Amino acid sequence: MRKRLVVLLPGFNGDARQPLLVRVGQALGARHFTCRFPGLPGGRPSPGLGDEVAFLAKKLPPRAAPILVGRSFGGRVALRYANVKRVSAVVLLGFPVRPAGRVRPDDEAALLTVRVPTLIVQGDADEKGPLDVLAPIVARNPWLTLLVLAGAGHSFGRHEARAVSLARVFIAARGRRAGSSTRPGRARRPGGRART
């Protein structure tokens, strides 16, 4: 059996091997998955995140269809990559769709246009990705699944183990299914939102 490639992308100016991402990689194990931690360019984000997407494209095999895991800013890059390159699935861990006082229409558009199974694990107290912004977007795109961690903020804190577990289950299910990106994910109640 061929191992599935999982690419884990850090938050803004974060270390390539952020502890949360390392825990996701460890939870997956090495038997069925190959985890890569390519990091992202530091400094101010490029317009449209084009430089970050190009950086990632250079780090991955040309025919790869990886599962992307993005933590915060890494999720923004993962979505842009998924909208222009071939990927199997995306996991967004704390997606900063609209930090206080900042509108990010490109992030909202990226969520609406993604066409691979995409899991968003979000705290209900995440000030950078409020549920009142995310939930309506999720309701409009059947490829998106939103799982809410009650009491968690953007960094997940004491809820981190649960976030890792949710990511592991989603990735493991995609790892067993060849061609999983051909149809939207599992059926769910309207809005695609579940509390955990």
Instruction: List, for residues 55-84, the tens digit of each pLDDT value.
Output: 999 999 988 899 999 999 999 999 999 999
Indicate the helix (H) or strand (E) that contains 112. Answer: helix 105-113
* pLDDT digit string, tens, across residues 123-135: 999 999 999 999 9
Share of the chain above pLDDT 70, in %: 89
Residues linked to residue 90 through DSSP beta bridges, in sequence order: 68, 118
CATH class entry, domain 4-195: alpha beta
pLDDT for 193 beyond 80: no
Q: Are the C-beta atoms of 79 and 49 separated by less than 8 Å?
A: no
Taking the CA atoms of 72, 73, 79 and 82 in sequence, report the sign of the dihedral they define. Answer: negative
Q: Are the C-beta atoms of 69 and 167 separated by less than 8 Å?
A: yes
CA-only gyration radius of the chain, Å: 15
Averaged pLDDT score across all residues of the chain: 89
Using alpha carbons only, give the angle 89, 90, 94 rounded to the nearest 5 degrees: 160
Residues linked to residue 34 through DSSP beta bridges, in sequence order: 5
